[in-house]
Amino acid sequence: MPVTYHRSGLVFTEHTITVPLDHARPDGPVIEVFGREVVAADRGGRDLPWLLYLQGGPGHSAPRSPAAWLRRATRDYRVLLLDQRGTGRSTPANRRSLARLDDPAAHLRHFRADSIVRDAELFRAHLAGDRPWSVLGQSFGGFCALTYLSLAPEGLREVLIAGGLPSLTAGPEEVYRAAYPRVLAHNDRFFARYPQDQAIARRVADHLARCEELLPGGGRLTPRRFQSLGITFGGESSFDTLHHLLEEAFADEKTLSDVFLRRVDALVSYTEYPLYALLHEAAYCQGAASGWAAHRVLGEFPEFDVELGGQVRLFGEMIFPWHFEEDPALVPLRACAEELAACRSWPPLYDLERLARNEVPVSAVIYYDDMYVDRDHSLRTAGMVRDLSWWITNEYAHDGLKADVAVLDRLIAMARR
């Protein structure tokens, strides 16, 4: 019996379904996938169309707080917040659960967008029968939406994408070669806004090179782990958050503050998002291995070499082999990560011919200065998908959907043109 509760004018109902681990083997092992239905309290009795929300990631569960975009969505839809397989209240995939498996890497080959889409189709049948539903994809959720259009367009009524139009053809190496300059540009913007923070960052990096500083969650804070704080740069308020973190870095002349170490730990640990670290590069693989692409391409950008003694530059959305040596949450998964990085048998995620013939209305916003998703890649993809309307803006960062309900308003209006 589904659990239902009320909160702030919304009604939430919890659903769990059982799905095959490998959809090609429906009689094989199974896992559970969880979704939270949300409807406005004054519209609960209406026969509203369904909207599936696909969160960014990979490896992130659906949001738990009723943000403004969700309230806007419930004016028109009955929303399903999907905990994509392995996340949230779906059957977990983490260092503990994976340790119990004989072959965790083989298990995780079924946790990409293609499997998420097939889970969604089973959820649609469970909730809506044979009626198509709408999809709203944020960031990686937009990647999944294009996979949905490739694999099962008959299940879709309309598709809304916020900051999530990936390249349909670029492999991980090309993706990261385009990403590093964007990250450097965000570094430049950050240190231009807070020029005094460059000296603090240099001082922290030098201190970490000389002294052992342990994070509250375990593991040493190394200079390169400190550099991974740049992953936050893509959000609307991330510059201010990082500035306030750095201004409290030192307790005295020789010691980092407990407040700084606690907050850094929360930002650099993958305890909550191990699948992000394990599958981030695999999200771009189609028929080829990633081979630690971000690590290979890094050598082309010496600006990030913190040991040169010059300006400190922070990394963005990159996963490196050393993450699985220095983050206690990832250390047990190192062998699994190596196997996934070497895997060459990733199936295609996008059907270019089907997308070129697409008949499902698609609307997308492209963020001009998006640090996570390359603008040129997005524009190229927008031209390859039939019936896709898009607009490009520098008014928002990557989290524009969360920052301003007008983003969802416009996506809906464009899809209904």
**68 is written with which tokens?**
């403004």
Q: Are 86 and 59 in contact (CB under 8 A)?
A: yes
The terminus-to-terminus CA distance of the chain in angstroms comes to 39
- DSSP H or E run through 173: helix 172-193
Residue of 353, 346, 358 lying closest to 149 (CA atoms): 358
Report the helix count and the strand count for the chain, using DSSP H and E: 18, 9
Q: Which two tokens stand for residue 354?
A: 């089907």
Spatial CB neighbours of 371, under 8 Å, sequence gap ≥ 6: 179, 182, 183, 186, 233, 234, 316, 317, 397, 398
- Report the catalytic residues: 139, 370, 398
> What backbone phi and psi angles, to 5 degrees, belong to 85?
-50, 135
Write the secondary structure of 303-341 as one string of H (helix), E (strand) and C (coil). HHCHHHCCCCCCCCCCCCCCHHHHCCCCHHHHHHHHHHH
The answer to whether 359 touches 386, Cβ cutoff 8 Å, is: yes
Q: Which amino acid is it at 282?
A: A
Which element (helix H / strand E) includes 80? strand 78-83
Bridge partner residues of 136 (DSSP): 53, 160
CA-CA distance, 145 to 385, in Å (whole number)?
Answer: 12
Contacts of 119 (CB under 8 A, 6+ apart): 19, 33, 82, 84, 85
- Using only the alpha carbons of the chain, give its radius of gyration: 21
* Cα torsion angle, 163, 263, 111, 54, sign: negative
Integer Cα distance of 61 and 134 in angstroms: 19
Q: Which two tokens stand for residue 266?
A: 């929360």
